[in-house]
Structure 1
């Protein structure tokens, strides 16, 4: 009696785009690469190259395979369902004999199909996949007219930009799929926020699973913008609690440098790196084993959201995580690009430089993530696989930056050591060094209105309303609710840096 078995078709962009046609058989996925994809048109035959069987765990994989691994590229589940062998009780033998008839019952593929072996090409068997004349046949039907995943509704481009999973081809099948989306902690409850509002100038606040001592809550920390009220320490702490679940993935596992302004944004600030003695015992810390005598050794690590609230109460108006994790402090997770306007650089000229970065990364087929700084400039983070050290990423970033600067030499200065540097923009690749940092996504900045360093999409560079300090602690949460977090893809550390001349 015929047995229902599962099948899947994955749209796979590796060395070349193709469709992986996979049938469950004897505990594995028998697989063919179909360059033009399956079709419902009975008048069309599709080339299908037999490839090695895949494990059943791969059936519904949708995500990215790192470059350099077998099949490196992006994958979506283009179709899935069940299949039934036709005319045989032994489909494995039918395949060995070179001809298998089967019925597919999928989301897109329906009806009678035939796989026929036609020859050999190098180490692969060459087959043909075709659809029979039946009630499900559709003339002119093309797979490329249906580009979205049947599971997530996303395209390959969308999955590549923000994948949920990574597949490690060299790992055991039951360990090969790696989740990339960190678990997001719950935000503070309305009752917790109301409790903060109800406190006097100081008190103890139970929030995000911790009891925190908060002080000087009515002290003004940020002057207001025109027509707006100033912001108090209570406002900053409230924002820190609300943004902490969003910010945590960008901070977790990394030493955090704090830019403190205990007397407010309009007073002098200073860098604070050492965790103070009065910090609570539960606060995560990291001892830098490579610190020289006299250098900071014990750093704050924000591995839970309440730690960011503590930092805000400590007077830290800016948050600067290391670009390397504490587990490998000499191996950066990102390559950093800082478009730093000079005194004579207009906002439109800054956008010209940012768009050139956009074109450069598109040409290199690299995912890169921009954000406005909250002050005057734009920064770009490029996530990479662990491997290169800071010297290597700095050299690579310098080559890219100088190539971009050569397009508009009238806008860029490379002599920034000279005070004022002629008022031209700086493409600062020097931040690619151990313990050199750029401001974290969603960190406030010490300026009137408490502007926020806010991630944007590349398309927003063309928005006439875009400004580097457009969003503040009062407005950025509404933006997150409306458009989500466009920076999330930076957490997927799966890219190798291409060669740049």
Structure 2
């Protein structure tokens, strides 16, 4: 039998422990070793057998999102190859409760034995050989053999997240924030005088009325034309498209521009190009746009869709949300400072619960929070969870709060709306324009920005958001990787 892979991952979840994993039969047979392996033959380490892990996990180093199985930071503390030196069939040896192994790692070398004492409880022991070291302790060797970093460094700046709700081959997702990549031929757009065909993202798109004013200008600024909106859409599409992929898209259309009355359009028009990705809703037969490629979003903007609203569920299971939504809107008697206070209280609640949530200013008057969830609970459950959470927050400042079934103006109080957690009810997408002067966008924010007195709900526009992305990256990208189970309240 040839050598097999092994890894020891230092894992800080609810408690620090070392995950000792051996390749056996195409999976990683795994034990949690609270005090870590030792090269000292006099030391016996308690080990607790846990679920087998997929081989794709063997080189994982990063963060498992809070609220999911094993949530915490992980480093590759040791890795290498191993061979059985007494057992021709390691799987059978594990089944019998005694496995003799020879490790060829960077920290662990030589012969070991792992012996079951009762059910899932085992002992890990080092044999006396040339690699034995009296008094050797794992805690004296804290660095990753993969990156040379400590657990604290990986936690502060992870390169990968592990999504246990995804297939193993796709579960390790990049953690580093994306910055926008301009792949569209905006020079081709500039070459069109008023009407023409624009080759964008590999598609031929007929564009019209490029000099038409769609958004009034802010004081001292020029108005925003259709050409400028299409250019922005092409530039932001690579960053935005992952938030839209696999989801039906509702469009808030303003064919006459932002200062005219808009209307909702859900069904694709009959003249929509054949290449557009689409989905037909069971039962209603309504055919929706699905922006599975960047050119589809550019088409939507050219069609007069100034606001983009993706469903919170995907088309393969429209009954199962992947986000829980919290919508904070001011009333006539509450100011922006009051709304920021409510958002800070939600921030504190999430920290207390260990829940990852991501905020954005709405681009108009409010603040919205997206909480990524593992698919499984239905809309009734996510709606009830958000209602309980918001009621707990509202109880702290009852004088500021009204509820979803009350008018926002009742007493001038702010509105905590949990009713958006329903099939085909949506909040505006991150980076979507809003129909107001200057073309403000719904901009993601980091939680600490709630403490910045300069923050405003409509303070970022299609003219300024690009510089913010270049400087800070996409601070909302955790929504795409942090699926989690909602804790009981």
Q: TM-score range by the shorter chain?
A: 0.7 to 0.9
**Is the alpha carbon distance of 1:35 and 1:265 closer, same or farther for their aligned partners in structure 2, counting shifts above 3 Å?**
same
Q: What is the aligned partner in structure 2 of residue 33 from structure 1?
A: 32
Identify the range of structure 1 (303-312 vs 356-365) with the bigger mean alpha-carbon deviation: 356-365
Alpha-carbon separation, structure 2, partners of 1:329 and 1:28 = 33
Q: CA deviation at 1:314?
A: 1.1
Q: What is the aligned partner in structure 2 of residue 76 from structure 1?
A: 74
Alpha-carbon separation, structure 1, partners of 2:114 and 2:355 = 38
Alpha-carbon separation, structure 1, partners of 2:145 and 2:402 = 45
Aligned counterparts, 1:188-227, within 5 A: 188-189=182-183, 192-227=185-220
**Is the alpha carbon distance of 1:440 and 1:59 closer, same or farther for their aligned partners in structure 2, counting shifts above 3 Å?**
same
Q: CA deviation at 1:443?
A: 0.3
Q: What is the aligned partner in structure 2 of residue 163 from structure 1?
A: 161
- Contact kept, 8 Å, 2:408 with 2:415, in 1: the verdict is no
- Contact kept, 8 Å, 1:63 with 1:165, in 2: the verdict is no
Select 1:317's aligned residue among 294, 306, 316. 306
- Secondary structure at 1:163 match in 2: strand
Q: CA deviation at 1:445?
A: 0.9
**Is the alpha carbon distance of 1:164 and 1:51 closer, same or farther for their aligned partners in structure 2, counting shifts above 3 Å?**
closer
Alpha-carbon separation, structure 2, partners of 1:97 and 1:260 = 66
Q: What is the aligned partner in structure 1 of residue 445 from structure 2?
A: 456
Note the residue ranges of structure 2 that are not aligned, 5 or more in a row: none
Aligned counterparts, 1:34-53, within 5 A: 34-38=33-37, 46-49=45-48
Aligned counterparts, 1:171-320, within 5 A: 176-179=168-171, 181=173, 187-189=181-183, 192-291=185-284, 297-320=286-309
The C-alpha deviation readout for 1:278-335, integer Å capped at 9, x for no partner, is 22122222222233xxxx8222221211111111111111111111222222222211
Q: CA deviation at 1:226?
A: 2.6
- Secondary structure at 2:18 match in 1: strand
Alpha-carbon separation, structure 1, partners of 2:447 and 2:145 = 22
The C-alpha deviation readout for 1:125-161, integer Å capped at 9, x for no partner, is 1234699998999988726954897399886756999
- Contact kept, 8 Å, 1:416 with 1:426, in 2: the verdict is no
Alpha-carbon separation, structure 1, partners of 2:50 and 2:364 = 53
Q: Is 1:142 aligned to residue 139 of structure 2?
A: yes
Q: CA deviation at 1:65?
A: 7.3
Alpha-carbon separation, structure 1, partners of 2:266 and 2:371 = 25
Q: Is 1:123 aligned to residue 120 of structure 2?
A: yes
Identify the range of structure 1 (95-104 vs 112-121) with the bigger mean alpha-carbon deviation: 95-104
- Contact kept, 8 Å, 2:46 with 2:121, in 1: the verdict is no
Alpha-carbon separation, structure 2, partners of 1:147 and 1:457 = 29
Give the aligned length: 481
Alpha-carbon separation, structure 1, partners of 2:133 and 2:256 = 73
Q: What is the aligned partner in structure 2 of residue 348 from structure 1?
A: 337
- Contact kept, 8 Å, 1:62 with 1:165, in 2: the verdict is no
Aligned Cα root-mean-square deviation (Å): 4.0
The C-alpha deviation readout for 1:359-393, integer Å capped at 9, x for no partner, is 21222222211111111211111112222222222
**Is the alpha carbon distance of 1:209 and 1:151 closer, same or farther for their aligned partners in structure 2, counting shifts above 3 Å?**
farther
**Is the alpha carbon distance of 1:265 and 1:39 closer, same or farther for their aligned partners in structure 2, counting shifts above 3 Å?**
farther
- Contact kept, 8 Å, 2:10 with 2:18, in 1: the verdict is yes
- Contact kept, 8 Å, 2:333 with 2:409, in 1: the verdict is no
Point out which structure has higher relative CO (alpha carbons under 8 A, 6+ apart). 2
Q: What is the aligned partner in structure 2 of residue 360 from structure 1?
A: 349
Q: What is the aligned partner in structure 2 of residue 19 from structure 1?
A: 18
Identify the range of structure 1 (149-158 vs 328-337) with the bigger mean alpha-carbon deviation: 149-158
Alpha-carbon separation, structure 1, partners of 2:146 and 2:388 = 37
Note the residue ranges of structure 1 that are not aligned, 5 or more in a row: 169-174
- Contact kept, 8 Å, 1:163 with 1:489, in 2: the verdict is no
- Contact kept, 8 Å, 2:249 with 2:289, in 1: the verdict is yes
Alpha-carbon separation, structure 1, partners of 2:453 and 2:130 = 54
Q: CA deviation at 1:466?
A: 2.4
Q: CA deviation at 1:176?
A: 3.5
Q: Is 1:406 aligned to residue 395 of structure 2?
A: yes
